[in-house]
Structure 1
Amino acid sequence: MENYLGVDVGTGSARAGLFDGAGCLLGAGSVEIETFRPAPDFAQQSSADIWRAVCGAVRAALEEAGVTGNEVAGIGFDATCSLVVSGREGDSVTISPDGAAEQDVILWMDHRALEDAVEINAIGGAPLEYVGGTISPEMELPKLRWLKREMPESWAKAHRFWDLPDWLVHRATGEETRSLCSTVCKWSYLGHKGQNGEGWDDGFLRAIGLNDLTESDHVAIGKTHAAPGKYCGSLAAAAAQDMGLVSGIAVAASMIDAHAGAVGTLGLSLAEEDITRRLAMIAGTSTCHIGLSHEAIFVPGVWGPYYGVVLDEYWALEGGQSAAGALIDAVISRHSAATALAERAKSNGQRVTDVLDAELAKMGPDTHLLSAHRHVQPDFHGNRSPLAEPWRRGGLMG
């Protein structure tokens, strides 16, 4: 029987699931990823550490399932929309202000390029129409603009710039085809114009100071693209050895993690219902609301419309909150009871949130009324939509 691997790289860990041809989960594995914060609003990772976590998670999933590598027919990756910078030999190029050599990933939640986003929005350009009118510092072009200005030595050493999901496919195959999912959503590529570079707006790139990226047919940021899930190359021997697989198995074009979640959420038990009548809510470190449409719909302050980023020939709109699960963790960790709570959860073999859920359950069925007179606008890490103001810090009333 043929089996398939799905690899999900989130903010804090890499997870792998092994599925049979009917979609049943046979085994799973998870390995943590380290995040570095050298300064306020900076969040960085190491691609080498991410790959280590991916390989560990895949091997754990195979072991739990009792399946050998030669029983796997294909693999697909999704990940956070973080920026990976690599040199001519695929080596790491530092993006850290302290020069840490292996830290070559600017995490999606990094807000170092806030002023660059403001300046790009002031310059304007047609691609901004497809991100709700304003570009976010969580997207890649503001980060690239920051890197070019603030770290010219790293910029000079850089040979390729990747969205993390595409880097994983490249690391697995050695190929350079990018997914429309990442490039349209996070790089301002206009996917409805074509998959062979036609979607790059060179006038816009030059206007915002990134003319370098137009050189050699956009080779540094992607000359060719594929719809998510399409065949994108075969697993290379070195990557196969790292993961305990065999070379030559199919590797699919990648997806952003939330958008991969939207495929399953929107398609679950669909029957005859039109998929455009549903809204996916994907909860994790951040929260995304994703909906599909047959036609392009423009909504100020809502990301999109994005063509072909979830399903081929559909447009997508995306709203959301920059910090959701991470915000819960931060609020709990700052409370005076956090240490005792963590020790209690560990001794019970539970998560901290499980302990808190149990305490709430003891209070009766109407625990939602505990907050009836207090309202929190939880924009600790900025507002994605509909205000699209990344500098917003939220408010508390009551």
Structure 2
Amino acid sequence: MGKKYVMGVDFGTESGRVLLVEADTGKEVATNVTAYKHGVLDKTLPGGTPLGTDWALQDPGDYLDVLSMSVPAVLQQAGVMPEDVIGLGIDFTASTILPLDLKGEPLCLKSKWENEPHSYVKLWKHHAAQTEADDFTRVAEERGEAFLKRYGGKVSSEWMFPKILQILREAPQVFDEADLFMEACDWLTSRLTGNLHRSSNTSGYKAFWNKKEGYPSPEFFAAVDDRLKDILKTKMRGDVLSIGEKAGELTEEMAQVLGLNPGTAIAVGIIDAHAGVPAAGAVRPGQMVMTMGTSNCHLLVTDKDQPIVGVCGSVEDGIIPGYISFETGQVAVGDSFAWYVDQAVPGYVKKEAEESGLNVHQLLERKASAYEPGQTGLIALDWWNGNRSVLVDSHLSGAIIGLTLATKPEEIYRALIESTAFGTKKIIDSFVQGGVPVDEIFAVGGLPDRNRLLMQIYADVTNREIKVADSSQTTALGAAMYGAVAAGSKAGGYDSIFEAAKYMARVREETYKPVPEHVEIYEELYSYYLELHDFFGVEKKSLMHGLKKWKR
């Protein structure tokens, strides 16, 4: 048998990436990125229809462009023949949902619906369904629904059913027209195979599904809105397959589009951040993966099935088969640094960066590195896009405390970095206090590659050594690993994700170790962060909620 390859297709917020890797080693052979033509629709639809506050939509045609353009491109770039590609896996942002017609086509691609916002893909960061999320939480609390404990006690506006309920309430004609609602991840997998399946990963984390109990009862949905009573057997059809299984094989039609052979194994899809877990080799209990980019997602593999405050998902067979995987997150990390650079940094800093041959982030990182912990006199709250964990409240907003007339841009930049590290420590403490150990931390994503100061601050604040995955494309690599498992060992792949991780996962030798004197200072600063966290997030959250209401 000659050299065999697998593909990982990583659908992000702004673009899609296809990665081709060697199945036996995980070596990255070729990659290609296709930017979404329509990007994120948060102001208007392509035809000009205005969108409300907290809306975030996409055009699903952009996802199909990634497949038709980037898959053939990596084959050509690497000089690999289609018959040597044995499997393909998809990872996707979530919860990113769309309504489909009877033929499985997105409604927004029909001229009848092209000017109706609710017919489009609702991206993960579409937060306009907060009222609906609150209604799901309230009814679940009133009924004592067991599933709520698996999600930290609150339903997020990012998840599938709040977004569906928003469609039902605001555009019932779209709800009626929709034959199915699906995660974009599951829709594309279905498109490639011709099989109607849903992933245990997307269903478990974003749609209340549980391996033992399935979905909540029809009575629960009816209690939220009577029109949802039959949604499970009507618009949520499709059996749920476990992560690590084979979703099917590439159809003749889609094989022509992708330039691959019909019959190529297609893996059950996975959420983008979650795909970094096997790619880092974190497939055993006590291992936490931080996927760090525009937002942070924390994934912890465990064998302990118990409720943890602020967890946004506790799913058996959720990421690694045979184990429970917890998910928490911070919805603005790299985004908050970008906000500051794009909207608030003085012109003289941008000029200095240009003259130094650096971008603004690089200059601010260099300047901020000259400060010792605490020297800025600032503490910030990392809620610039709301709080996902542990408070699960999108109405919260950011804050910087300690500003004076002498405060410099690099001090603010450092305080923003520190705030995201404090937010991560709060999440880790929630696990440990709940009896779930965090023994190892791995970092994956774009930020670990770009910002050494950030990684050292995270090590100092958490007082833990941080290992970094040896790839800037870990989500695509993880998706490819599941593609190798879908293909199986007889085809040149693997029979389990544990086997795949032995040979394909990649971690750097260099790690970030906490500096003891920094740890001591950050412990005190963290206590200040906790005071602000509880004041603005619990005791006086009406302050931020009120401001958010006026902004709308």
> TM-score if structure 1 supplies the norm length?
0.87
Q: Which residue is 1:220 aligned to?
A: 235
| C-alpha separation in 2, matches of 1:13 and 1:94 | 19
AA at the equivalent of 2:272: D
Work out which of the residue numbers 376, 393, 397 in structure 1 matches 2:397: 393
Q: C-alpha deviations, 1:213-263, integer Å up to 9, x for none? A: 635x63522431111121111111222222221211110001001111122
Deviation at 1:316, TM superposition (A): 1.5
Work out which of the residue numbers 275, 280, 285 in structure 1 matches 2:289: 280
Question: Which secondary structure does the structure 2 equivalent of 1:192 belong to?
Answer: coil
- Residues 125-204 of structure 1 aligned to structure 2 (within 5 Å): 125-193=145-213, 198-204=214-220
Quickly say closer, same or farther: Cα 1:130–1:20, change in 2 above 3 A: same
Deviation at 1:100, TM superposition (A): 4.6
Residue 262 of structure 2 corresponds to residue 247 of structure 1: yes
| C-alpha separation in 1, matches of 2:175 and 2:349 | 46
Q: Which residue is 2:27 aligned to?
A: 24
Q: Which residue is 1:207 aligned to?
A: 223
Instruction: Confirm or deny: 8 A CA contact 1:300 1:386 kept in the other structure.
Output: yes
- Residues 297-376 of structure 1 aligned to structure 2 (within 5 Å): 297-335=306-344, 341=350, 352=359, 355-358=360-363, 360-361=365-366, 363=367, 365-367=369-371, 369=373, 372-376=376-380
Identity of aligned residues (%): 25
| C-alpha separation in 1, matches of 2:334 and 2:226 | 34
Question: Which secondary structure does the structure 2 equivalent of 1:118 belong to?
Answer: helix
| C-alpha separation in 2, matches of 1:183 and 1:45 | 21
| C-alpha separation in 2, matches of 1:132 and 1:373 | 33
Q: Which residue is 1:2 aligned to?
A: 4
Instruction: Confirm or deny: 8 A CA contact 1:279 1:289 kept in the other structure.
Output: yes
Quickly say closer, same or farther: Cα 1:78–1:118, change in 2 above 3 A: same
Work out which of the residue numbers 53, 64, 79 in structure 2 matches 1:40: 53
Quickly say closer, same or farther: Cα 1:290–1:145, change in 2 above 3 A: same
Deviation at 1:203, TM superposition (A): 2.4
Which range moves more in the overlay, 149-158 or 46-55? 46-55
AA at the equivalent of 2:275: A
| C-alpha separation in 2, matches of 1:177 and 1:234 | 12
Instruction: Confirm or deny: 8 A CA contact 2:244 2:321 kept in the other structure.
Output: no
Question: Which secondary structure does the structure 1 equivalent of 2:280 belong to?
Answer: helix
Residue 385 of structure 2 corresponds to residue 381 of structure 1: yes
Quickly say closer, same or farther: Cα 1:60–1:41, change in 2 above 3 A: same
Q: Which residue is 2:85 aligned to?
A: 72
AA at the equivalent of 2:135: E
Deviation at 1:300, TM superposition (A): 2.2
Instruction: Confirm or deny: 8 A CA contact 1:46 1:103 kept in the other structure.
Output: no
| C-alpha separation in 1, matches of 2:299 and 2:269 | 17
Higher helix share: 2
Q: C-alpha deviations, 1:327-380, integer Å up to 9, x for none? A: 3222222135589959x87x97x8x4xx5325543x485346586311211211
Q: Which residue is 1:92 aligned to?
A: 106
| C-alpha separation in 2, matches of 1:60 and 1:32 | 14
Quickly say closer, same or farther: Cα 1:368–1:115, change in 2 above 3 A: farther
| C-alpha separation in 2, matches of 1:339 and 1:35 | 31
Aligned residues: 381
Q: C-alpha deviations, 1:158-214, integer Å up to 9, x for none? A: 011111211110121121111100001000011233xxxx44432222222265463
| C-alpha separation in 2, matches of 1:11 and 1:368 | 35
Quickly say closer, same or farther: Cα 1:395–1:101, change in 2 above 3 A: closer
Instruction: Confirm or deny: 8 A CA contact 1:305 1:315 kept in the other structure.
Output: yes
| C-alpha separation in 1, matches of 2:113 and 2:309 | 34
Q: Which residue is 1:14 aligned to?
A: 16
